[in-house]
Amino acid sequence: MPANGTTPRAASTRRHDPDRRRRIIETCLDVIAERGVAGTSHRTVAAAAGVPLGSMTYHFDGMDDLLHEAFASFTRTVIDRFERRMAAATDLAAARQAVLALITADVFASNRDLVLTHELYTLAARNPAYRDLTNAWMRSSRAALERHFDPTTTRILDALIEGLTIHRALDTEPQDPQVVQAAIDRITRPAVT
Amino acid sequence: MPANGTTPRAASTRRHDPDRRRRIIETCLDVIAERGVAGTSHRTVAAAAGVPLGSMTYHFDGMDDLLHEAFASFTRTVIDRFERRMAAATDLAAARQAVLALITADVFASNRDLVLTHELYTLAARNPAYRDLTNAWMRSSRAALERHFDPTTTRILDALIEGLTIHRALDTEPQDPQVVQAAIDRITRPAVT
Amino acid sequence: MPANGTTPRAASTRRHDPDRRRRIIETCLDVIAERGVAGTSHRTVAAAAGVPLGSMTYHFDGMDDLLHEAFASFTRTVIDRFERRMAAATDLAAARQAVLALITADVFASNRDLVLTHELYTLAARNPAYRDLTNAWMRSSRAALERHFDPTTTRILDALIEGLTIHRALDTEPQDPQVVQAAIDRITRPAVT
Amino acid sequence: MPANGTTPRAASTRRHDPDRRRRIIETCLDVIAERGVAGTSHRTVAAAAGVPLGSMTYHFDGMDDLLHEAFASFTRTVIDRFERRMAAATDLAAARQAVLALITADVFASNRDLVLTHELYTLAARNPAYRDLTNAWMRSSRAALERHFDPTTTRILDALIEGLTIHRALDTEPQDPQVVQAAIDRITRPAVT
DNA sequence: AATGAATGAGGATTCATTCAT
DNA sequence: CATGAATGAATCCTCATTCAT
């Protein structure tokens, strides 16, 4: 066995690279996170993924196709995380707790996710082709919340999560956890009769 | 005082086309709204503003300078609108009404404002140089809300406005006004004791 | 003898899709007519013919081989038409009539043929490899005309057909049939003694 | 005065090159003649003209603009030559002589002109934008001929010149001058009564 | 025998910026 | 003070061709 750590066949089989497409997509998200959609070009992605420039238009019908695929992968990931978190809650208290965790801990745990979300929203704001992704995202978030809350509460919570997440990211001073807790309490507590 | 309404100094220091700089900035916002930051170049702005290409680097220290000035102008405009709306409210009921109007009517009345906001957030998410603008915006929104609400309520309302506005823009189905009303009620009503 | 009408050998030597090669050639002419030699690539022809890209270099030794085959097919077609038209004439009057018909009716009945002819001439003007086709074309035209006219008259008629056809195609105003008739009369009438 | 033969100002004034545009156009014709329209790219022309690639799209609105300008320059040249030759003829005999000279000597004296003509015809056959050039060319040829011949004769001569020229260029065997002479005689001699 | 995968070269074009005027 | 001219780098994309299967 060679010392370089690659399998013997790797050198000879390099031509056929079955998940190169998938790897380009993931690399593309990294590049977007780091340099923005504006700084994402065939060249930058190809260089980052270690594939020849010609690979880009071979695997994708142009920059737009690649971007859409990349953001489709991104939304799939965040939707999964959201759904798993909410599905784990078995009663109302747990559901409230899950929402708290979503906002304060994991949805945009990384700056990467925040940046990607904004880039996607920016695209969707001008280009309807990206609305299918944001729509699917919103619909799945609401479906996950509606397992535990009524439709109106769901809508409000959904907007709250959005707003608090954005402000947490943009704000220079740290977010007060008590504010988040208070928000969830007020929105989900039963109406005063 | 001169009859034309400009101060004497302005006339002497800025000869040719005194507000060309300002006009470029406003045109730049139009271009961003229409084609995105990515599609905004010296060329496109110069063409849209009807000024020679050389004017751009004469009046601004490069693209970034121009973008920052443009978004500074934008945030000034939306901050003004927000503050005027909130300042007009004289009691709590009117303040609640004002928040409702902000969300359902005027903050992102136009698609233009929505697009510009997302473009700015996207820049700010990656580039700290634009955080001063988003910070000032957030601070002023909160100050305006704090005239009527306590700090915690203000934070929650602020996030709610953000989230509902974004969702209204991205969503394909129209926003239910009752949801907005319910949200404001729950967030601003006194705690159940 | 097999019932399907093909020779036994053909069936055994060409299995899959026996006339794919021929179909590619014909499609290639369509593509050239529509987009020009410059716009004709392996890709465009393969797509138009509905064959995989790899087929192109399998069946032909590169673009040039394909182009040459395509224009060979084209000249064969127009030569046949010309010869059939001239062969049908049995006396001098009929021959004159046939020349008239060639110019006014059928040589470049379609814009397709005109375009293909110019594309071929352009290739032949620079690349000697295509001269064999234009030479064969000219030689056969002359042979067909020489059944009815002396060599000098043939040369002149041949040039006239060429020139009138080109001008008919390029001219924006329609060609006057009387001019064509007059030209044939003058060229083919006996010399004044 | 420096020994290198350039004027002293040349080195310092290199930036301002007032007839660079014209030089690019002429070089473009050379490139087309040598490599065809298909082989004519911004790169090849820029390299041949010794100008940076960026110059091409600075001076021209793209490849099509450049091509059109180049062929406009070309047709202007050949039209001038044609007109000068015909204008020099003072009587009918001289006019006949001039037509003979046009065909046998100078219209496509060089292979360059022949190639350029075919390239232009090919463009015009498919792209109406080039018909203005071929139309102007035909109209001016006819106007020049009509100084000496009636309209019908002019049309026939015009077509003859076209056809004989093309065949002279494509034919491998040399053109017989007597055929040309005979053609002119037959077309221009008075009708037999 | 036939083809999908892959790639490096080259295509037109746009760009921010510099500089001489 | 203001700008038209100019340019080299970078943009996306198409291409003919090679090659492993």
- Give the pLDDT confidence of A141-156 residue by residue, as tens digits: 999 999 999 999 999 9
Q: Contact partners of C by the rule of 3+ C-beta pairs under 8 A?
A: D
Tell the burial category of D130 from Cβ atoms under 10 Å away from its Cβ (0-12, 13-18, 19+): buried
Residue D95 has pLDDT above 50, yes or no: yes
Q: Write out the DSSP string of chain C.
A: --TTSS-HHHHHH--SSTTHHHHHHHHHHHHHHHHTGGG--HHHHHHHHT--HHHHHHHSSSHHHHHHHHHHHHHHHHHHHHHHHHHT--SHHHHHHHHHHIIIIITT-SHHHHHHHHHHHHHHHH-GGGHHHHHHHHHHHHHHHHTTS-HHHHHHHHHHHHHHHHHHHH-SSPPPHHHHHHHHHHHHSPPP-
State the Cα–Cα distance between residues A57 and C43, nearest whole angstrom: 14
pLDDT band at A161 (very low <50, low <70, confident <90, very high): very high
Model confidence pLDDT, tens digit, residues A175-191: 888 999 999 999 998 76
Question: Residues of chain C whose pLDDT is less than 50?
Answer: 1-15, 107
pLDDT band at B19 (very low <50, low <70, confident <90, very high): confident
The CA-based angle B37-B133-B48, given to 5 degrees, is: 35
Contact B178 A135 (CB under 8 A): no
pLDDT band at A172 (very low <50, low <70, confident <90, very high): confident
Average pLDDT, chain D: 87
SS3 category, B150 = coil
D147 vs B2, higher pLDDT: D147
Distance from CA of B14 to the nearest CA of A (A): 35
pLDDT band at B15 (very low <50, low <70, confident <90, very high): very low
Average pLDDT, chain B: 86
- Could you tell me which of B136, B186, B132, B131 has the C-alpha nearest to residue B156? B186
Tell the burial category of C172 from Cβ atoms under 10 Å away from its Cβ (0-12, 13-18, 19+): exposed
- Could you tell me which of A23, A63, D31 has the C-alpha nearest to residue B38? A63
First to last CA, chain D: 76
Residue B71 has pLDDT above 60, yes or no: yes
pLDDT band at D27 (very low <50, low <70, confident <90, very high): very high
Per-residue model confidence (pLDDT) at position C172: 81
For a pLDDT cut of 90, what percent of chain B falls above it?
A: 66
pLDDT band at A140 (very low <50, low <70, confident <90, very high): very high
* Residue reference for tokens 């000098």: C152
Contact B187 A187 (CB under 8 A): yes
**Is the minimum CB–CB distance between D94 and chain C shorter than 8 Å?**
no
Decide if C32 contacts C45 (C-beta within 8 A): no
A177 vs D105, higher pLDDT: A177
Residue A1 has pLDDT above 50, yes or no: no
Q: How far is the CA of C124 from the C1' of F11 (A)?
A: 37
**Is the minimum CB–CB distance between A51 and chain B shorter than 8 Å?**
no
pLDDT band at A170 (very low <50, low <70, confident <90, very high): confident
SS3 category, B10 = helix
pLDDT band at D4 (very low <50, low <70, confident <90, very high): very low
Locate A53 and state its tokens: 């420039």
State the Cα–Cα distance between residues C101 and D60, nearest whole angstrom: 45
Per-residue model confidence (pLDDT) at position B79: 95
- Could you tell me which of C135, C144, C133, C139 has the C-alpha nearest to residue C85? C144
Q: How far is the CA of A14 from the C1' of F19 (A)?
A: 12
Distance from CA of B152 to the nearest CA of A (A): 6
State the Cα–Cα distance between residues B59 and B36, nearest whole angstrom: 21
**Is the minimum CB–CB distance between A29 and chain B shorter than 8 Å?**
no
Per-residue model confidence (pLDDT) at position D109: 62
Residue D163 has pLDDT above 60, yes or no: yes
Contact D156 C183 (CB under 8 A): yes
Task: Give residue numbers, 81 to 100 of B, with CB < 7 Å from strand F.
Answer: none
- Helix axes of B63-87 and B20-35: crossing angle, nearest 10 degrees: 90
State the Cα–Cα distance between residues D156 and C178, nearest whole angstrom: 11
Predicted structure pTM score:
0.84
Locate B68 and state its tokens: 């920052």
Q: Give the Å distances, CA to CA, from A59 to A13, A18, A25, A76, C102.
A: 19, 11, 10, 20, 51
Measured to protein CB atoms, the chain E nucleotides within 7 Å are 1-21
Distance from CA of A163 to the nearest CA of B (A): 4
Per-residue model confidence (pLDDT) at position D82: 92
Contact B166 A115 (CB under 8 A): no
For strand F, is any atom closer than 7 Å to the CB of B58? yes
Decide if A67 contacts B38 (C-beta within 8 A): no
Q: Are chains A and D touching, using the cut-off of 8 Å on CB pairs and a minimum of 3 such pairs?
A: no
State the Cα–Cα distance between residues B27 and B33, nearest whole angstrom: 10
pLDDT band at A7 (very low <50, low <70, confident <90, very high): very low
State the Cα–Cα distance between residues D115 and D71, nearest whole angstrom: 12
Per-residue model confidence (pLDDT) at position C173: 84
State the Cα–Cα distance between residues B95 and B97, nearest whole angstrom: 5
Question: What domains are defined for chain D?
Answer: 20-188 (1.10.357.10)
State the Cα–Cα distance between residues B3 and D20, nearest whole angstrom: 51
Decide if C163 contacts D163 (C-beta within 8 A): yes
Decide if C125 contacts D115 (C-beta within 8 A): yes
**Is the minimum CB–CB distance between B38 and chain A shorter than 8 Å?**
yes
State the Cα–Cα distance between residues C77 and C33, nearest whole angstrom: 15
Per-residue model confidence (pLDDT) at position D108: 52
Residue D2 has pLDDT above 50, yes or no: no
Residue A16 has pLDDT above 70, yes or no: no
Side chain identity, residue A177: P
Residue A6 has pLDDT above 50, yes or no: no
For a pLDDT cut of 70, what percent of chain A falls above it?
A: 87
Per-residue model confidence (pLDDT) at position C192: 53
Residue A132 has pLDDT above 90, yes or no: yes
Residue D26 has pLDDT above 80, yes or no: yes
Locate B193 and state its tokens: 């004791």
